[in-house]
Amino acid sequence: MKKIFFISLISSLLFAHEGHFSKDENNGKLILKKPPESLKKYYPPHSEKFEFLSNMHTMSTAFYGVQLNINDDNWERALEWAKKLLETYKETAKMVPEWKDYFDFQKADNYLKAVESRNVDMVIKASQELGKTCAKCHQDNEIAVKIYYRFPNFEKIKVEDPIEFTEMKLEEFMKKLTNSMKALNVYLSQNNTEKVQEHGINFVERARAVKETCSKCHTREQEIEAITGKDYDQALNKLEELLNSDSVDLTEVKNILPKITVTCYTCHNVHLIPAKIKSALMK
């Protein structure tokens, strides 16, 4: 019984402090800062080994290794993991000099001493203290680093506009796509069939061109199909058919639009948010 209680107690303490946000500390705010220059050495294209991230996994595993072995009453093994944690913690501090103040070697040494002492209460206290140093840095930097280094740069994506026949940035193309859609809606509410046809056809062509961007990043057809699949193609074909008919049924045109715009939202939920954060961090 005692051991089970200990493991749940120590793991909740560790999770709380190694974690990303401790609610009391961030007060509903999330500030994202551009990661320091020296971190870039440990991410593509400079390195494919993800050395910094890999140290994070080593430390996290070692933390848990200590905990598991104390529960097994194997203090020798626990000490080995604690040494591994300390060593990696010190090594990581050297990797990013701009972040040296986040590391507290005194707390790391205390943690090792606590494991050496084989005193459970001291280990809990020391791991809590050390864990806080992890959590502080995560709170300030983890999300920004994940987006900055692990999400592609959408500003590099170019689209050939099928109406103006020029190549442009995705952001600019999105404005043209939206303007076609807004024009379609404006003339729909004014019952101006001719203009509805003109802008509606532009919208269909631009909405189809969006699909060309997918393959610049995705290689698996299922991923592209998951957002811009058959339903999307069919809705666009249907809209085109309606617009090309001799007497355009404006109500039908109105009804088909949500079947297309649902795709805009789905794609934005997945891509737009990180794309915008990344662009902001790159400035």
Closest CA to 137 of 184, 186, 177, 101: 101
* Shortest CB 247 distance to ligand HEC, Å: 26
Using a 10 angstrom Cβ sphere, with 0-12 exposed, 13-18 middle and 19 or more buried, the burial of residue 24 is: exposed
Q: Up-side HSE of residue 56: CA atoms within 13 Å toward CB?
A: 17
Tell me whether residue 73 or residue 90 sits nearer to ligand HEC (CB atom).
90
Q: Where are the alpha helices (DSSP H) in 191-249?
A: 193-214, 221-227, 230-244
Q: Which of residues 141-180 bind ligand HEC (CB under 6 A)?
A: 141-142, 145-146, 149-152, 154-155, 157, 170-171, 174, 177-178
- Does the footprint of ligand HEC cover residue 124 (CB under 6 A)? no
Determine which residue in the list 13, 79, 120, 137 makes contact with ligand HEC, applying CB under 6 A: 137
If one asks whether residue 60 binds ligand HEC (CB under 6 A), the answer comes out as yes
8 Å CB contact between 248 and 121 = no
Nearby residues of 51 by Cβ (< 8 Å), 6 or more positions away: 41, 42, 95
Number of residues that make up the chain:
283
Under the binding rule (CB under 6 A), the answer on residue 133 touching ligand HEC is: yes
Report if residue 213 touches ligand HEC, rule: CB under 6 A.
Answer: yes
Interacting residue ranges for ligand HEC, rule: CB under 6 A: 18, 53, 56, 59-60, 63, 89, 99, 102-103, 130, 133-134, 137-138, 141-142, 145-146, 149-152, 154-155, 157, 170-171, 174, 177-178, 181, 207, 210-211, 213-214, 216-218, 223-224, 226-228, 260-261, 263-264, 267-268, 270-272, 275-276, 279
